[in-house]
Amino acid sequence: MPINANHFNAPPNILLMASLAIRGGEPVRKGKKWPEWPAYDKRELKALEEVLKSRYWGGGVGESGPWEQRFEKAFAARHGCKYGICVVNGTAALLTALLAAGVGPGDEVVVPALTFHATGGAALAVGATVVIVDVDAETYCMDVNEVEKSITERTKAIIAVYNYGTAPDMDALLKLAREHNIVLIEDCARGHGFEWRGKPAGSIGDMGCFSFQQGKFMTAGEGGIVTTNSKVYAARCYSVKDCGRVRGEVYDVGVPYWINWFNLRMTQFQAAILLAQLERFDEQLRRRQENCEYLSKRLSEIDGVTPVKVDQRLTRHQPWPYCFKVEVGCFKGVAVERIVEALRAEGIPCSTLDHQPLHMTLAPGLFGRIVKKTKYPVAEKALEEAVIIPQWVFLASKDDMDEIAEAVEKVRKHAEEL
């Protein structure tokens, strides 16, 4: 991990009277725990016991299983959709949506440079060409101007990702998609419960893809779901995840990439846990949003610190992860990696950017192709300026948010000790 040269050279008089915990000073936060994640209570225990005793453990064959059906309905409705199709994880949700949209070899799929690998990986897995575009400097989400420039007659899908508790310009993306007859898939792996001008994430584009992996806002350890208002896409998604079986009466034999060899079914254990998680979801969302907005307000008051911007049109949101930028010049030129180490020593769980930008790391594998569009100045700068904080921290109290702000201000003020 690159560290500032001062790390080894701090003058001895500074170290004798060190303020920063990393130099032996008193930490801002001592002996206090952060909320544990995942959260569970008697509801999950009861749900698991019920499934166990029912002996209906696996995914439904030909139709979603009983817990899955209940969860699909409830989760889809909570996200403004008529249909929900449970799958094994968020990557499978993206894969399923792309296949349902008929995306395959020769097609181009536009994705942002800052996201988890799965966004691009799912497109590679269907044999498509991944077109990576830079992100917006304020939101770190897909830059719509870059998306527009990247559109060709081969562009079949855009995957819009909700990242860092914020969103790309969904109005502009939807308009672009409709004008060019492109499928808009929302990667909501980090966007449960978000609303754009009051419209739930997952219902804005053609399909929404959610993850229930361990660290997500709702979790069953692993899991995923596709949400949609399209009867045709819903039927195709079901068939893709259940070995080509037809659910209900809709059977579109015209699907160009008809898939009848995947089993991507979720177990009833997962669905039952998720039903319980859904019960406390709104309260958790409210708390995270409140804490995140409060922390952003506090951090904005600190010189050289800028929280990632949340668009005013994103009316409901929560941070996954929370992200703020540091101007290292205001931290005596100390590298962001060292700032993060100092914050951790003060008791703040944080790290540098959660993933290297896609254009630097995504491997094409056996079939797909990757197109790197010009340069990625914003995504690459994020490596040098972004500090992130995990979502479960925002289930803590307002006082805890004050301690985060206090720690950041302390590290800035005593940056010469680093």
Closer CB to ligand PLP, 165 or 347, in the complex:
165
Residue 166 touching ligand PLP (CB under 6 A): no
Binding residue (CB under 6 A) for ligand PLP from 136, 187, 311, 403: 187
Smallest separation, CB 284 to ligand PLP (Å): 18
Task: Compute the distance between CA of residue 74 and CA of residue 67 in angstroms, rounded to an integer.
Answer: 11
Q: Residue 99 is encoded by which pair of tokens?
A: 């296949």
Q: What angle is formed at CA 358 by the lines to CA 356 and CA 364, rounded to 5 degrees?
A: 125
Region binding ligand PLP by CB under 6 A among candidate stretches 185-193, 227-235, 243-251, 386-394: 185-193
Region binding ligand PLP by CB under 6 A among candidate stretches 110-118, 133-141, 370-378, 393-401: 110-118
DSSP of 76-145: HHHTT-SEEEEESSHHHHHHHHHHHTT--TT-EEEEESSS-HHHHHHHHHTTPEEEEE-B-TTT-SB-HH
CB 203 within 8 A of CB 79: yes
Region binding ligand PLP by CB under 6 A among candidate stretches 18-26, 113-121, 254-262, 329-337: 113-121
Closer CB to ligand PLP, 319 or 347, in the complex:
319
Binding residue (CB under 6 A) for ligand PLP from 4, 6, 64, 91: 91
Binding residue (CB under 6 A) for ligand PLP from 4, 6, 64, 119: 119
CA distances in angstroms from 55 to 50, 60, 63, 268, 274, listed in the order given: 9, 12, 17, 10, 18
What residue type is 152 in one-letter code? T
- How many residues line the site for ligand PLP (CB under 6 A)? 14
CB 95 within 8 A of CB 106: no
For residues 21 to 40, the per-residue mask of contacts with ligand PLP, x marking binding by CB under 6 A and - elsewhere, is --------------------
Closer CB to ligand PLP, 83 or 116, in the complex:
116
Task: Compute the distance between CA of residue 333 and CA of residue 70 in angstroms, rounded to an integer.
Answer: 54
First-to-final CA distance of the chain: 14
| Binding residues among 45-64 for ligand PLP as defined by CB under 6 A | none
Residues that bind ligand PLP (CB under 6 A): 89-91, 115-116, 118-119, 161, 187, 189-190, 211, 213, 224
